[in-house]
Amino acid sequence: MKSILTTGLAAIVLAAVTAGPVLAQGTLQKVKDRGQLVCGVNTGIAGFSAPDDKGNWSGLDVDLCRAVAAAIFKDPAKVKFVPLTAKERFTALQSGEIDVLSRNTTWTMSRDTSAGMNFAGINYYDGQGFMVNKALGVKSAKELSGASICVQTGTTTELNVADYFRQQGMTYKPVVIEKLPETLAAYNAGRCDVFTSDASQLYATRLTLGSPADHIVLPEVISKEPLGPAVRQGDAQWGNIVRWVLFALINAEEFAITQENVDKMKDSTNPEVKRLLGSEGDFGKGVGLDSDWAYQAIKAVGNYGESFERNVGQGSRLKISRGQNALWRDGGLQYAPPIR
């Protein structure tokens, strides 16, 4: 019954989506008329989007929305956050309820091409990782041969593990469990050596274990889950704004422009920095914004690295290492095209 219903719903959603929305005016103009950006975020995921004790939204995905709002309005507060569940997120974007979907959404081909939306970039390279007890003395996933692994049945997580161990020519004992909390409980009780899930979740999960310091997340990431912001299909200018705000934050880290020194950096002699911060050329025009668009975004949330460390990295309790999310020159994957 449930699956029939879901299929029916999916069919209707798809029909409505493929019919395609007719855009009377550009999203940027609508956002400006409204006076605030409307940003779809997760209903609550540690480090990415969650309200703090005072009820203010914070997190890596939230920072991106604030940066876009700052680039448009010169005020990072002019953004409204709409918490969305996984099921609602695409229709919310489709129906125009939100302008940007910044909700740890994996960039896949089908979503990018036939779900009526376009991805604007990748603000977090996620992927499945492994967590083990330190007492095991394992430093790499390649040493896990023969280990027992707690996995949920019928998930891609389970399939990824099977593929990885086959590729590596290693064996493992699956401890198959129905639900995630029970899987975690089994790991916590020592029924298996390894707990596996998306890396971003492993760190949050670790904090809920009896003694977090006893567990380590192994460096290997065995699947590709590139998470990024998405916009409605059919408005190239709006997609450009979101994409280039993200690129501006990544470029800012590369040029060591921080929230603190951004004012001083305006007088930098480096032409790349000058172009980014708008003291030379007028690159904002290309996306319909003022020339200080990137300056405002960086001023609001800091560069990509600052935002990362503050929300999920060493400045937070999650302590996620940069890994794939380090800059390209530091061995990571974060690479932004030049502003020229």
Partner 1 sequence: MTSARRDEVMGHRATPARRPPPAGAGPLAWVRANLFSSPLNAALTLVGVWITWTAAYAIVDWALVRAVFTGSDGSACAKEGAGACWPFVTAKLDQFIYGRYPAAERWRADLTMALFAAGLAGVMIPGVPRKGWIAAFLLIAFPAIAYVLLTGGHFGLAVVETEMWGGLLVTLVVAVVGIVASFPIALALALGRRSRLPFVRWSSIGFIELVRGVPLITMLFMASVMLPLFLPEGVTFDKLARALIGVALFEGAYLAEVIRGGLQAIPRGQYEAADALGLSYPQKIGLVVMPQALRLVIPGIVNSFIALFKDTSLVLIIGLFDLLGIVQQAVSSDTTWLSPSTPLTGYVFAGFVFWVFCFGMSRYAQRIERRLDEGQHR
Considering only residues 11, 18, 29, 44, which one is a binding residue for partner 1 as defined by CB under 8 A? 44
Which CB atom, from 15 or from 109, has the smaller least distance to partner 1? 15
Instruction: Give the whole-angstrom CA distance, residue 221 versus residue 5.
Output: 35
CB of 24 to partner 1, least distance (A): 7
Q: Does 216 bind partner 1 (CB under 8 A)?
A: no
Which helix (H) or strand (E) segment holds residue 70: the answer is helix 60-73
Residues 92-151 that bind partner 1 (CB under 8 A): 92, 94-97
Whether 101 contacts 42, CB under 8 Å: no
CB of 158 to partner 1, least distance (A): 22
Whether 275 contacts 255, CB under 8 Å: no
Which helix (H) or strand (E) segment holds residue 195: the answer is strand 194-198
Whether 244 contacts 236, CB under 8 Å: no
| Binding piece for partner 1, criterion CB under 8 A, among 82-90, 121-129, 169-177, 242-250 | 82-90
Residue 81's beta-bridge partner residues? 39
Instruction: Give the whole-angstrom CA distance, residue 228 versus residue 241.
Output: 14
Which helix (H) or strand (E) segment holds residue 230: the answer is strand 225-232
Considering only residues 3, 4, 24, 109, which one is a binding residue for partner 1 as defined by CB under 8 A? 24
Which CB atom, from 45 or from 136, has the smaller least distance to partner 1? 45
Considering only residues 139, 173, 179, 317, which one is a binding residue for partner 1 as defined by CB under 8 A? 317
Q: Does 12 bind partner 1 (CB under 8 A)?
A: yes
Considering only residues 316, 324, 325, 334, which one is a binding residue for partner 1 as defined by CB under 8 A? 316
CB of 192 to partner 1, least distance (A): 18
Q: Does 208 bind partner 1 (CB under 8 A)?
A: yes
Which CB atom, from 162 or from 180, has the smaller least distance to partner 1? 180
Considering only residues 32, 80, 224, 266, which one is a binding residue for partner 1 as defined by CB under 8 A? 80
| Binding piece for partner 1, criterion CB under 8 A, among 84-92, 105-113, 215-223, 246-254 | 84-92
Listed in sequence order, the residues at least 6 apart from 208 whose beta carbon sits closer than 8 Å to its beta carbon are 184
Which CB atom, from 42 or from 296, has the smaller least distance to partner 1? 42
Residues 188-207 that bind partner 1 (CB under 8 A): 204, 207
Which CB atom, from 140 or from 314, has the smaller least distance to partner 1? 314
Please report the DSSP string for 76-113 in residue order: TT-EEEEEE-TTTHHHHHHTTS-SEEEEEEE--HHHHH
- Computed from CA positions of residues 99, 105, 108, 111, in that sequence, does the dihedral angle turn out positive or negative? negative
Instruction: Give the whole-angstrom CA distance, residue 53 versus residue 150.
Output: 33
Listed in sequence order, the residues at least 6 apart from 76 whose beta carbon sits closer than 8 Å to its beta carbon are 66, 67, 69, 70, 300, 301
Which CB atom, from 51 or from 286, has the smaller least distance to partner 1? 51
Instruction: Give the whole-angstrom CA distance, residue 17 versus residue 116.
Output: 6
CB of 82 to partner 1, least distance (A): 6
Residues 48-77 that bind partner 1 (CB under 8 A): 49-55
Task: Provide the binding-site residues for partner 1, judged by CB under 8 A.
Answer: 5, 9, 12-13, 16, 21-24, 30, 42-47, 49-55, 80-85, 87-88, 91-92, 94-97, 204, 207-212, 311-312, 316-318
